[in-house]
């Protein structure tokens, strides 16, 4: 790996001189090289500096500027993230990867002792994921050292300086074009193969999907202000028709896609999770790592659960192919958005830590780490994930809202003892607003001021609550955009955070640790308004009145309308449950009755909670490898799924009354 004091090759030095001239003419030489600014040096207006960097690098490496901008947009949406690495060790606007440096100390998120199946019959400790040696990392995770070699820039510059990073990306694109035997043409249509190669994909379908997305961005054009306040514009080029035949000459493998359930607009391959019988450590018959079913005939699929993998792609694929461990339906790769399917949608995967949710959901694992290096996800992965979710939602009639598209951190524990160990991914750095915009369902105001319901919707880039514990317990995390909003006991910044008696049974205070969901609202979630005071709004949350700052000039929530429930008159305090199982009379002979113990949570008189769905009590009995005794038990008891705290909860419809709220 090239360091800042490593001598540059003669060709790299010559290229640096040429590039420096172009950058100087654009007013970028001083910030790029890190020299002290001179009063006589030409300086470009700060908000336009990154735009100038794209122009200068495109000119220096003879790459069409629209191609450079299009690739960068699909990598990072032109954000630099303050020099922090992405979930797979990618840096800067071009997402140049240096995974060995970035991920060497990336920890697994600490809040995760749940049994992924969601019952106590098959507890299994997670395998240890170790960072591989440099030689084991695929080329797509080592593009930054190669860019340093080609550009003459040091690895440190490429990680921390956005202009240098753009130059490194231009150097990689030019090298890819030359390797394909193509001239450094000024026509963007001639760069299809180079863009496909830039993705790092090793199969034809993924490379094509990536390149098609880049050229779609170029055709449509884009403009936005980045996380560093830089204004960047890519003018549309309608009618642009790239030379797609280049891809056929690249000799990439063809992924096995025949078995997959994916939209045609993504790259998807079949890497099956095993359904196998084996002996447990005590010699008893057992099986894994999912259950066969015939959904949606037997029971509806009404939820999609968003996870992050807490491990690298290759290691995660090994994990899902272990018959004794966990499973999920799909894994998505960060660098290029490639998808692998492991379990058919009709079958029940073990992923959410709640058997009721598993039996009615589809799980998507996204390559990444909740807390480290600094958690940001590529646009390529956001886009393919959104396409997959739209496809699944249409196929299974799943509403596109945050009551049905859950994070793993929104799934409730089944019983009181399981609440503290429930997972907390994808965490506060997953950009729910952008994700739902890609789904075609952005969160916006649907009612006038003083509506009875609010949708949490902070501006991600401007919403930067302080977190600790990303690297070490108690240590502050790098400031970062967030989809989460904290709630307090009173309408003031220094008031205590709301307590979660389920997460901390001893009554300890909630914290600002990145894994602590006890006092946290998440973008897209809806809550019933309890009170308003000036810039503060209170909502009903975990049985308490919870306050969050919601100023008119920069609101963190918008008024909405929806169905809410409140205890029936004379019903007293209403218990909240972690699963919606049938009443005991519904169980046929041979199927053991499943108890539904209440959680340590209640809805008190006068409190209101937003409803996500109304569902019958249901239990999927699946105790053996042989599917003959499997049964779906459905009762007469009806439940409302409500937004209770950060996680959902279930209340019996017989205990509450429902009404529309909001103007």
Burial class (CB in 10 A: 0-12, 13-18, 19+), 40: exposed
Asked whether residue 117 is domain-assigned, the answer is no
Same domain? 193 vs 296: no
What distance, in Å, lies between the first and last C-alpha atoms of the chain?
60
Distances (CA, A) of 541 to 451, 498, 545: 17, 9, 6
Q: Are residues 422 and 461 in the same domain?
A: no
Q: Alpha-carbon distance 209 to 70, whole Å?
A: 14
Ramachandran angles phi, psi of 272, nearest 5°: -70, 140
222 φ, ψ (degrees, to nearest 5): -150, 155
Q: Which residues pair with 531 in a beta bridge?
A: 538
Whether pLDDT at 38 is above 90: no
Residue ranges making up the domain that contains 303: 255-428
Residues 69 and 162 in one domain: yes
Report if residue 40 sits inside a domain: no
Quick check: is 63 in a domain?
yes
Mean pLDDT, rounded, for 524-533: 97
Same-domain pairing of 267 and 207: no
Q: How many residues would you count in the chain?
A: 663
CA dihedral 316, 317, 321, 325 (to 10 degrees): 10
Nearest Cα to Cα of residue 523 among 582, 584, 439, 451: 439
Q: Which residue from 488, 481, 453, 448 is spatially nearest to 467, judged by alpha carbons?
A: 481
- C-alpha 288/C-alpha 265 separation (Å) is 32
pLDDT for the residue numbered 372: 56
β strands within 405-467, DSSP E: 405-407, 453-456
In this prediction, residue 450 has a pLDDT band, given cuts at 50, 70 and 90, of low
Span of 35-39, 290-294, 405-409, 638-642 with lowest mean pLDDT: 35-39
Q: Do 241 and 304 fall into the same domain?
A: no
Q: What is the spatial distance between Cα 208 and Cα 220, in angstroms, rounded to a whole number?
A: 18
Position 113 in a domain: no
pLDDT confidence of residue 215? 98
Residue 42 — pLDDT band, cuts 50, 70, 90? very low
Of 246, 277, 310, the residue that ends a domain is: 246
Judge whether 657 and 565 are in contact, CB under 8 Å: yes
- Selection from 544, 617, 556, 563 nearest residue 587 by Cα: 617
- Spatial CB neighbours of 394, under 8 Å, sequence gap ≥ 6: none
Q: Residue 292, Cα to own-chain centre: how many angstroms?
A: 27
Q: Parallel, antiparallel, or unpaired for β 330-332 and 361-366?
A: parallel
Residue 468 CA to residue 579 CA, distance in Å, equals 32
Q: In this model, does residue 146 exceed pLDDT 90?
A: yes
Answer whether 139's CB lies under 8 Å from 200's CB.
yes
* Confidence check: pLDDT of 510 > 70: yes
Q: How distant is the alpha carbon of residue 362 from its chain centre?
A: 15
- Residue that finishes a domain, picked among 179, 214, 246: 246
Residues 537 and 581 in one domain: no
Predicted local distance difference test score (pLDDT) of residue 343: 98
pLDDT of residue 194: 97
Task: Indicate whether 508 and 552 sit together in one domain.
Answer: yes
What pLDDT band is residue 44 in, cutting at 50, 70 and 90?
Answer: very low
Provide the sign of the torsion angle of the four alpha carbons 330, 331, 337, 338, taken in this order.
negative
| 384, 478: one domain | no
How many angstroms separate the CA atoms of 201 and 230, rounded?
A: 30
CATH code of the domain covering residue 278: 3.40.80.10
What pLDDT score was predicted for residue 39?
Answer: 33
How is residue 349 annotated by DSSP?
A: E
Peptide bond just before 296 cis, omega within 30 deg: yes
Place 27 in a pLDDT band, splitting at 50, 70 and 90.
very low
Neighbours of 564 (CB within 10 A): 27
565: Cβ contacts below 8 Å, ≥ 6 apart? 603, 608, 609, 611, 640, 642, 651, 656, 657, 658
**What would the DSSP string read from start to end of 14-45?**
HHHHHHHHHHHHTT-HHHHHTPPP-TTS----
Please determine, for residue 18, whether its predicted confidence score (pLDDT) is greater than 80. Answer: no
Percent of the chain with pLDDT over 90: 72
pLDDT mean over 183-206: 95
* pLDDT on residue 643: 98
CB atoms within 10 A of CB 516: 24
Residue 437 inside a domain? The answer is no
Residue 513 has pLDDT above 80, yes or no: yes
CATH at residue 240: 1.10.530.10
More reliable by pLDDT, 440 or 115: 440
Helix (H, G, I), strand (E, B) or coil at 339: strand
In this predicted structure, what is the pLDDT of residue 484?
97
pLDDT at 486 over 80: yes
Q: In what order do the strands lie in the sheet with 562-567?
A: 648-652, 631-643, 609-621, 562-567, 656-661
Q: Are both 505 and 651 inside the same structural domain?
A: no
The model's confidence at residue 376, banded by pLDDT at 50, 70 and 90, is confident
Instruction: Indicate if 351 and 263 belong to the same structural domain.
Output: yes
pLDDT above 80: residue 74:
yes
Question: What's the number of domains the chain is made of?
Answer: 4
Distance (Å, whole) CA 36 – CA 372: 32
Rounded CA-CA distance 260/346 in Å is 12
Closest CA to 459 of 443, 448, 474, 471: 443
Q: Is the pLDDT at 68 greater than 70, yes or no?
A: yes
Going by C-beta distance under 8 Å and a sequence separation of 6 or more, which residues neighbour residue 490? 496, 547
Answer whether residue 16 is part of any domain.
no
Q: What is the pLDDT of residue 311?
A: 77
Cα 371 from Cα 310, distance rounded (Å): 9
Backbone angles phi, psi at 87, to 5 degrees: -65, -20
Q: pTM for the complete prediction?
A: 0.90
The answer to the question of residue 509 being in a domain is yes
Query: Does the residue 221 lie in any domain?
Result: yes
318, 355: one domain: yes
> CA-to-CA distance for 602 and 649, rounded, in angstroms?
10
Rounded CA-CA distance 586/139 in Å is: 56
User: What gap in Å lies between CA 499 and CA 600, rounded to an integer?
Assistant: 12
Supply the pLDDT for residue 449: 60
| Contact by Cβ (8 Å): 129, 107 | no
Residue 383 clears pLDDT 50, i.e. is over it:
yes
Question: Do 655 and 575 form a contact (C-beta atoms < 8 A)?
Answer: yes
3 has a pLDDT exceeding 60: no
Torsion angle defined by CA atoms of residues 378, 379, 384 and 386, in that order, rounded to the nearest 10 degrees: 110
Average pLDDT for residues 171-184, to the nearest whole number? 96
C-alpha span between 406 and 645 (Å, rounded): 13
Most distant CA atoms of the chain, gap in Å: 88
Distance between CA atoms of residues 541 and 643, nearest Å: 8
Q: How far is CA 39 from CA 20, 423, 579, in A?
A: 19, 53, 67
Do 488 and 581 fall within a single domain?
no
User: What average pLDDT does the chain have?
Assistant: 88
Cα-based distances in Å from 581 to 1, 396, 602, 649: 56, 22, 18, 13
What integer pLDDT is reported at residue 268 of this predicted model?
Answer: 96
Choose one of 226, 246, 266: the last residue of a domain.
246
Distance, CA of 525 to chain centre? 16
Q: What is the DSSP letter of 135?
A: G
Query: Which pLDDT does position 277 carry in this prediction?
Result: 93
- Ramachandran region, residue 440 (left: φ > 0; alpha: ψ -120 to 50; beta: rest): left
Helices vs strands, H then E, count in the chain = 14, 28
| pLDDT digit string, tens, across residues 396-421 | 999 999 999 999 999 999 999 999 99
Among 3-12, 422-431, 432-441, 615-624, the range scoring the smallest mean pLDDT is 3-12
277-336 residue pLDDT tens: 998 888 888 899 999 999 999 999 999 999 998 777 888 898 899 888 789 999 999 999
Per-residue confidence (pLDDT) for residue 316, from 0 to 100: 87
């Amino acid at each position: 790996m090239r360091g800042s004091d490593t001598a540059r090759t003669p060709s790299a030095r010559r290229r640096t001189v040429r590039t420096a001239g172009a950058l100087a003419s654009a007013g970028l030489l001083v910030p790029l090289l890190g020299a002290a600014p001179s009063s006589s040096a030409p300086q470009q207006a700060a908000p336009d500096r990154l735009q100038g960097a794209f122009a200068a690098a495109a000119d220096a490496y003879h790459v069409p500027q629209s191609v450079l901008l299009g690739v960068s947009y699909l990598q990072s949406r032109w954000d630099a993230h303050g020099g922090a690495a992405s979930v797979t060790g990618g840096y800067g606007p071009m997402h140049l990867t240096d995974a060995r440096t970035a991920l060497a100390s990336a920890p697994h998120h600490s809040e995760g002792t749940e049994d992924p199946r969601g019952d106590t019959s098959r507890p299994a400790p997670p395998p240890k994921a170790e960072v591989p040696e440099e030689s084991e990392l695929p080329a797509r995770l080592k593009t930054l050292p190669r860019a340093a070699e080609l550009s003459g820039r040091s690895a440190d510059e490429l990680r921390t300086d956005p202009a240098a990073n753009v130059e490194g990306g231009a150097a990689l694109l030019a090298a890819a074009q030359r390797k394909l035997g193509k001239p450094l043409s000024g026509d963007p249509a001639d760069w299809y193969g180079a863009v496909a190669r830039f993705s790092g994909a090793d199969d034809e379908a993924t490379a094509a999907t990536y390149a098609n997305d880049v050229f779609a961005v170029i055709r449509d054009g884009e403009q936005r202000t980045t996380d560093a306040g830089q204004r960047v514009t890519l003018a549309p080029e309608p009618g642009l028709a790239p030379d797609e035949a280049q891809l056929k000459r690249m000799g990439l493998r063809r992924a096995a896609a025949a078995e997959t359930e994916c939209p045609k607009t993504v790259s998807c391959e079949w890497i099956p999770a095993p359904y196998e019988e084996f002996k447990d450590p005590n010699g008893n018959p057992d099986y894994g790592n999912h259950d066969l079913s015939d959904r949606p005939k037997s029971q509806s699929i009404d939820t999609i659960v968003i996870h992050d993998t807490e491990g690298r792609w290759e290691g995660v694929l090994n994990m899902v192919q272990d018959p004794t461990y966990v499973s999920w339906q799909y894994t998505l790769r960060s660098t290029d958005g490639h998808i692998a399917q492991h379990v058919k949608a009709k079958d029940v995967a073990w992923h959410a830590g709640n058997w009721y949710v598993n039996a009615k959901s589809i799980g998507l694992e996204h390559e990444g780490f909740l807390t480290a290096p600094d958690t940001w996800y590529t646009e390529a992965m956001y886009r393919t994930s959104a396409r997959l979710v739209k496809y699944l939602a249409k196929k299974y009639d799943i509403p596109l809202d945050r009551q049905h598209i859950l994070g793993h951190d929104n799934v409730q524990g089944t019983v009181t003892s399981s609440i503290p160990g429930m997972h907390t991914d994808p965490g506060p750095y997953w950009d729910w607003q952008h994700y739902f915009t890609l789904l075609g369902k952005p969160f916006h105001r649907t009612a006038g001021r003083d509506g009875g319901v609010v949708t949490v919707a902070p501006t991600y880039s401007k919403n930067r609550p302080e977190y600790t514990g990303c690297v070490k317990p108690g240590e502050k995390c790098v400031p970062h955009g967030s989809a989460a909003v904290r709630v307090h006991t009173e309408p003031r910044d220094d008031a205590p955070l709301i307590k979660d008696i389920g997460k901390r049974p001893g009554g300890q205070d909630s914290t600002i640790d990145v894994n602590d969901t006890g006092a946290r609202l998440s973008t897209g979630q809806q809550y019933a308004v309890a009170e308003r005071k000036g810039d503060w709004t209170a909502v009903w949350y975990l049985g308490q009145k919870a306050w969050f700052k919601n100023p008119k000039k920069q609101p963190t929530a918008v008024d909405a309308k929806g169905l809410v429930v409140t205890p029936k008159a004379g019903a007293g305090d209403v218990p909240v449950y972690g699963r919606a199982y049938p009443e005991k009379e519904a169980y046929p002979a041979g199927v053991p009755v499943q108890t539904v113990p209440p959680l340590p949570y209640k809805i008190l008189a006068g409190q209101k909670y937003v409803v996500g769905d109304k569902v019958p009590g249901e239990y999927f009995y699946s105790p053996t490898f042989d599917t003959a005794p499997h049964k779906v038990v459905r009762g007469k008891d009806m439940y409302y799924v409500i937004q209770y705290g950060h996680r959902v909860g279930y209340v019996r419809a017989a205990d509450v009354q429902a009404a529309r709220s909001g103007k």
